[in-house]
Amino acid sequence: MNDSNSSRVVKIVQELLLDEEDKSVITPALIAEKIDLVLRMHAKWAEALDREAVTDELIRRFSVWIGEDTSLVDSSGHEPWLDAARKQDWRYWQRYREFQEKKLSWKAVDALDKSTDRILSMLEDPMRPGMWDRRGLVVGHVQSGKTANYTGLVCKAADAQYKVIIVLAGLHNNLRSQTQIRLEEGFLGYETNGATNVQRRIGVGLIDTDQSINPNCATTRANNGDFGGRAATQLAISPEQRPWLFVVKKNKSVLVQLLKWIQNHVADMPIASDDSFTAEKDQLPRVKKRVTKLPLLIIDDEADNASVDTGETVVDADGNPDDEHQPTTINRLIRRILHSFSRAAYVGYTATPFANIFIHERGTTKSEGPDLFPSAFIQNLAAPSNYVGPGTVFGRPGPNGREGQLPLIKEVADYMSEDEKSGWMPVKHKPVHVPMYSSSDALPPSLKTALNSFLLACSARELRGQGGEHSSMLIHVTRFNSVQAAVHQQVAEYMQDVRQRISRRIGHEAIIEQLRELWETDFLPATQQIRLAGVDNVPEEDPEWTDIVGVLPDVMHDIDVRMINGTAKDVLDYEESKAKGLKVIAIGGDKLARGLTLEGLCTSYFLRASRMYDTLMQMGRWFGYRPGYLDLSRLYTSSDLVRWFRHVSDAATELREEFDLMANSGATPREYGLKVQSHPELLVTSQIKMRSARTLQLSFSGQLMQTVSLPRRKSEIQKNFDAASRLFGALGPSAGEAFERRFGATSHQWNGHLWKDVPHSHIVDFLQGYRTNEAAHRVNSAALSDFIRMMAGSGELTKWTVALLGVRTGRPSELAPGVSVNMAKRTGDSQFDDRYAIGVLLDPKDESIGLDEAQWNAALELTAEAWTKSGKAGQPEIPSGPAIRRVRGLGAPGALPRPDEGLLVVYVLDPGGAGLDFEVGTSGIVAFGISFPGSKSNVKVDYKINNVAWELEYGASE
């Protein structure tokens, strides 16, 4: 296939299709018609043209939709400046746009244009005189294209006349080098090479060849090309020069060199010294002069990693800044670099923003200025429809278990013994650990299966015409380099053995049979399921097994096994291998855990045990884009990690919905920061980053709390049933055994009982008598009852709607005279012996119980607005939970706020779903959900958790 001709045809046909007013008429037949038209104009382009591949690419581009970004903005002191007139003749952005159009759909490029315009407009005009400082945060999704976004922002910032642009690119050389290469392609237009002065044009430099606009760069793509050495002492710039780019690690020595260079060679205005400051003991360069002629932009990639000040005391007892506080080193150096410029802008990029939002918004010190809290804006990037995120991989919770989970996850347990203390890779092991599965096999069967899966994925991609694209496998099982080296040797030996058997056809029968069985029992059914679900553009026909066997020898010959860590010399040189595509099995730890992109990731074998939300999500390298091979992707991991990923995925999804609602209401970053800090579902970032040892101050306002981890002991089941019996006995019989909502597009009827205007004291009594499971640290009945009592003291949550829900047919359970329901069923997770763990308790409609028509309509309108901005197709039929809670407590046009009204929903679950081996009669397992309305009050309750419990639930901070 002629890739050059294909890219030309794709680009021109795309332009022709863009002229179609009704994009719904863009069909394969219309695409074929336009291809014929282009080839009639230029017949030579038909040479070696793969028309099917061109058609598939155009179908992909026109089937992708992208929602709108949402923003929380504080415009205090900001002067609007970015308009169409200002954007005329912007050459850096124009050539980057054309560069992106070669591989992205017009919708994606248009969305990138709008997104970067919005971010740049929230920064200050670099030509605005005087002193100013703007700080923001861009929140994307893991492996979703954040680098492309900030490269576009860099191009536009340079066009707008930002002169010094610093990109903080992670902690490791390989990530810094990868980022440098991406910026060379998208911004510089030439390859940086410290060994020669010859500039080889690449990327955007092949689109606009005018070298007079080439930006300057003080760093190179080499592994040791970071800022320092001769450049740090001899480099000099002036206001008349083109923009300067610095791509640097978040490393003390590098940032010290950069700060010294700024102070010694660029700063031009002395500032008054403060002799009273005597706490400085670290010998870091001081800010003695400021740069007044050159505006600065800092892009902080992975801004939640290393940049956050984890010091304990940033404010005093009265909430005032402690200006003698000494921040942690990297944070201090970043802030001093910002403090060295009279005109400065800082934009952090991350997929896990929680550590950044925990930054105290009042943290200010004499030598560093304000902390890195995103006080100006937080922008939430919309993900394209073809992005494969946590919700796609792990599905969504539903009353009957997970819904929509793809058949790509394979739970493994053979990597360690049952007591978790021995085996190939026990969770807790030391650097001297020697991985060994058995006396005859070094590797556990599950890893062999994963390696075989990668062979099949590469072979299938070859037959689908994707053989020239990169294919990668991730093996991430330990953080110790010495243990990684042992795993690398074992994997390399296994692959060599398989390669020789298949290539020489000697003793190959067993491995071929294993591959065939895996293909027929796993790959073919998964492909068919994803094909039917319409999640990806899966080919209509599957390759024959004989075709797979035919390409296996060549595929195996191309696969490299590499170790990626601080001691290994291997690198992932995707750029150098782009002509034929790199096929690599990458074995590593922390360097593979954050930021580094694994191109064409097909197979992951992942056993790391961190339970921190941000650490887990960043380790999820399997999220991203899998065009045409999503069905071939596999994740081999432990059952614990699957459970933790599901939880953090669900919590993050709801928090994003909350973000969109707050953005629509005009909230500021500070208001969102307070929201996150009091979110009981997100106690999953490092305690150090949250600056709290054992006690957290939490608010449950605006949250849905439901018991999904329930007791299995008979005494506790009976205790909770008795608490519910006392509650409903005190409330007395309801009006009937069914109630309904008549308004909305579709009415709904519940089976059960409803009480209104219930005093809060009844709810408090119920929660005090109820025993939540010890493993349910986030849904603690004692903390919930304390919170309700404190809120009632301030006039909120004083009266409640209480619903007892059951099903139409099922085993009956009587809780009080005249109050009975048929027990509901919820599927339990069989892996837990100590508790009855269910996915979700409440049906999404349950939170609407008690709403009047005005509240329903207002909440539905908020939900529809969020759907439209996120790019979801169609219109919602019921309002979302966050919208309901917001309207309930804070009101909306046409709906009065009612922060005094809470909602308690109680279910009685059939013990059969818990697999109990004893008879509980008609008592059943009582579970509850509480929907707390939104609130403007700052009432919080002490939430105590000891370090042992924290370690058990979330693991140690890494």
Average pLDDT score over residue span 62-72: 76
CATH 3.40.50.300 fits 70-312+322-380, yes or no: yes
Q: Looking at the predicted structure, is the pLDDT value of residue 404 above 90?
A: no
CA-only gyration radius of the chain, Å? 29
Q: Which pLDDT band holds residue 272 (cuts at 50, 70, 90)? A: confident
Q: What is the pLDDT of residue 688?
A: 43
Strand partners, 73: 377
Average per-residue pLDDT in the chain?
Answer: 83
Q: What is the pLDDT of residue 304?
A: 75
The neighbour count for residue 171, using CB atoms within 10 Å, is 18
Strand ranges in 34-183 using DSSP code E only, listed in sequence order: 70-73, 132-139, 164-169
Whole-number percent of the chain with pLDDT over 90? 43
* Mean pLDDT lowest among 311-320, 362-371, 387-396: 311-320
Helix axis angle, 639-664 to 881-890, nearest 10°: 40
Q: Looking at the predicted structure, is the pLDDT value of residue 749 above 50?
A: yes
Average pLDDT score over residue span 58-80: 81
Tell me whether strands 799-806 and 748-759 are parallel, antiparallel or unpaired.
Answer: antiparallel
Q: What is the pLDDT of residue 485?
A: 93
Q: What tokens appear for 118 in the block?
A: 């919005």
Q: Using CA atoms in the order 39, 40, 42, 44, what is the torsion angle rounded to 10 degrees?
A: 70
Count CA atoms closer than 13 A to 632's CA, side-chain side.
Answer: 31
Listed in sequence order, the residues at least 6 apart from 224 whose beta carbon sits closer than 8 Å to its beta carbon are: 173
Q: Where along the chain do its domains lie?
A: 3-63, 70-312+322-380, 404-637, 677-954
The neighbour count for residue 322, using CB atoms within 10 Å, is 17
Residue 283 dihedral angles phi and psi, to the nearest 5°: 65, 20
Tell me whether strands 409-411 and 634-637 are parallel, antiparallel or unpaired.
Answer: parallel
Q: Is residue 450 within 8 Å of 515, Cβ to Cβ?
A: no
Average pLDDT score over residue span 167-186: 89
Q: Looking at the predicted structure, is the pLDDT value of residue 525 above 80?
A: yes
The neighbour count for residue 838, using CB atoms within 10 Å, is 25
Could you report the per-residue pLDDT of 421-441, keeping only the tens digit for each? 899 999 888 999 999 999 889
Strand ranges in 670-747 using DSSP code E only, listed in sequence order: 695-698, 704-706, 709-710, 738-741
Q: Is residue 339 within 8 Å of 289, Cβ to Cβ?
A: no
Compute CA distances 74 → 78, 374, 375, whole Å: 8, 10, 7
Count CA atoms closer than 13 A to 350's CA, side-chain side.
Answer: 27
* Mean pLDDT lowest among 70-74, 265-269, 543-547, 910-914: 910-914
Q: Which residues of 853-870 are buried (b: 16+ CB within 10 A; e: fewer)?
A: ebbbbbbbbbbbbbbebb
Task: For residue 938, count CB atoms less than 10 angstroms from its CB and return exposed for 0-12, middle for 13-18, buried for 19 or more.
Answer: exposed
Q: What tokens appear for 84 in the block?
A: 């169409």
Average pLDDT score over residue span 652-664: 75
For the chain, helix, strand, coil in percent to 5 are 40, 20, 45
The neighbour count for residue 249, using CB atoms within 10 Å, is 23
Q: What is the pLDDT of residue 856?
A: 95
Higher pLDDT, 497 or 13: 497
Compute CA distances 60 → 458, 462, 538, 633, 689, whole Å: 21, 19, 11, 19, 41
- Cα dihedral sign for 905, 908, 914, 920? positive
Q: Is residue 450 within 8 Å of 603, Cβ to Cβ?
A: yes
Compute CA distances 353 → 392, 737, 950, whole Å: 21, 46, 21
pTM, entire model? 0.74
